[in-house]
């Protein structure tokens, strides 16, 4: 097939990627090799972000990685443009959740 990432507890579940594309990007279909590529890239992204967040955490003398460590890691990796996207997604989810469960709906 294409790339074959190690399928163990360290990799993202294949079903997560498939559902993401199916539910969020319904106009697109993803081939088997495409799924493998996305899995590999997502794994590498999460690993690099976690590694950098761990370094930030250690620099601050902490033992547990917190939200601020992850946000600082994004900035240090020069990929902090994700911050505005994360904020937008959180707001959309919050609004969707509120409207779905609102007693006035």
Q: What is the pTM of this model?
A: 0.66
> Exposed/middle/buried for 70, CB within 10 Å: 0-12, 13-18, 19+?
middle
E strand map for 3-96: none
Phi, psi for residue 76 in degrees, rounded to 5: -65, -30
Output 18 or 84, whichever has higher pLDDT. 18
- Per-residue b or e along 33-55, where b marks 16 or more CB atoms closer than 10 Å to that residue's CB: eebbbbbbebeeeeeebeebbee
CA atoms within 13 A on the CB side of 11: 16
For the beta carbon of residue 8, count every other beta carbon within 10 angstroms.
6
Check residue 1 and give its pLDDT: 41
Q: For 39-72, what is each residue's pLDDT tens digit?
A: 898 889 889 999 999 999 999 999 999 988 998 9
Average pLDDT on 7-17 reads 72
């Amino acid at each position: 097939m294409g790339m074959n990432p190690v399928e163990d507890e360290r990799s993202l579940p294949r079903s997560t990627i498939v559902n993401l594309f199916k539910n969020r990007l319904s106009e697109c279909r993803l081939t088997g090799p495409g799924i493998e590529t996305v899995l590999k890239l997502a794994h590498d992204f999460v690993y690099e972000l976690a590694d950098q967040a761990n370094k930030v955490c250690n620099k601050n003398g902490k033992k547990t990685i917190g939200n601020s460590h992850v946000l600082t890691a994004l900035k240090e990796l020069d990929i902090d443009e994700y911050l505005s996207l994360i904020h937008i997604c959180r707001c959309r989810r919050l609004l969707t959740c509120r409207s779905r469960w609102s007693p006035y709906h």
